[in-house]
Amino acid sequence: MADIQISAVRKSYGKVPTLHGIDLAFASGEFVVILGPSGCGKSTLLRMIAGLEEITAGEIAINGRVVNRLEPRERGCAMVFQNYALYPHMTVAGNIGYALKVAGIPKAERLRRIEETAKIVGLSDYLNRKPAALSGGQRQRVAMARAIIREPSVFLFDEPLSNLDAKLRVTMRAEIRKLHQRLSATSIFVTHDQVEAMTLADKLVVMNKGLVEQVGQPLDIYHRPASIFVASFIGSPAMNLFDAEIDVGNACLTLAGAKLPIDSRIAARLGAGNITVGIRPEQCIVSPEAKGGVAIKVEFVEELGSGRVIHAELHGRPFAACVDEKMRVRPGDWIDLELPLAQLHVFDRESGRRIGVDLEPRAVAASAGRPAFETI
């Protein structure tokens, strides 16, 4: 196991900057997931840790040793790639043990470690097959076994599940997590898939445009996103976001065609002006008939088996709300929407950063019932 320290790391290709000063610390044995859209710099950062990309500025230290100038083989890292990168002319055993063969490990020792590693990833019955005779999931297991056999202190995963079908991705997520628990090595996993990130991570790093947006435990990030970007990127369906205004004099919040009374002290703290407010689809309150709240017209219904997602438009923006599967609703129906103050997230519209204020404390919200709406 190894701890990793990333200090003021920058990366530029010529005059084009890609990473703009990354500071991160990963504890020994942690499973870290770096999440972000394509082009945000997450794979570049991973390759810099592995030694496959030069560092323009800053330092990367593994177990207290700065590795900027070390060759990849000297860093104690093993990497699993998206495209497997298997040798097609070699058997599974040959692929798994190739690094040991190059290192001059005696054949008897090499075969013993190949068999042990194959057992860990469930490939004992496939050692004599070649990659062409394997399924996608089995090929990915070979790639992982090839990394495991080197007994690295750090595992690096570069979107390893992207080429698998949906069902197999679920299976492989579970296997990767079990593998981490068994080996206890520090693992860094790069993905653009938020489901992978939420299910795998001990620590989640959200990146955007070469910067770190937020670092924390998955559920903390989900429930308290640090920016509009994080709020919209994490969650499926995505968080509903609205432009809103604070009226300090009347102590109310105006959004989505409604006025919501708020505590005068909270209104004074926020100050008069424009903000962005968000709410998760599963935290909206909807009813089959409009009864004085905000009425929305259903455009289509997404059936999920365990529930439904209603899609509509609210003040010119797409809107989604989760409802119980027992609630009968069809496209064209009008339904009543209420937005509980306790569930609203507040962001500065200019900077996009979270404003650390609860419009209604959770304890108060639980006893106060639904907020009063004044439709405008």
pLDDT for position 190: 96
Chain centre distance of CA 266 = 32
- Evaluate whether the domain defined by 4-230 bears CATH number 3.30.750.24: no
Which pLDDT score is estimated for 168? 81
The residues near 318 (Cβ < 8 Å, ≥ 6 apart) are 240, 311, 312
Q: Do domains 4-230 and 238-375 have the same CATH topology?
A: no
| Tokens matching residue 135 | 């399924």
The whole-number pLDDT of residue 288 equals 67
Using an 8 Å Cβ cutoff, are 74 and 63 in contact? no
Average model confidence (pLDDT) for the chain?
88
pLDDT digits (tens, 9 = 90+) for 90-114: 999 999 999 899 889 999 999 999 9
The 10s digit of each residue's pLDDT in 183-200 is 888 999 999 999 999 999
Which amino acid is it at 170? V
pLDDT at 241: 92
Predicted pLDDT of residue 376: 42
Q: Which helix (H) or strand (E) holds 206?
A: strand 203-208
Q: Which pLDDT value is given to residue 265?
A: 87
* Spans of all domains in the chain: 4-230, 238-375
What local confidence, expressed as pLDDT, does residue 37 receive? 94
Residues 146, 115: contact at Cβ < 8 Å? no
**Rounded distance, CA 172 to CA 170, Å?**
6
Looking at CATH, the fold of the domain delimited by 238-375 is given as OB fold (Dihydrolipoamide Acetyltransferase, E2P) (2.40.50)
Flag whether the pTM goes above 0.85: yes
Residues with pLDDT less than 70, the chain: 1, 288-293, 361-376
Q: Give me the pLDDT at residue 160, please.
A: 87
- And the tokens for 10? 């920058």
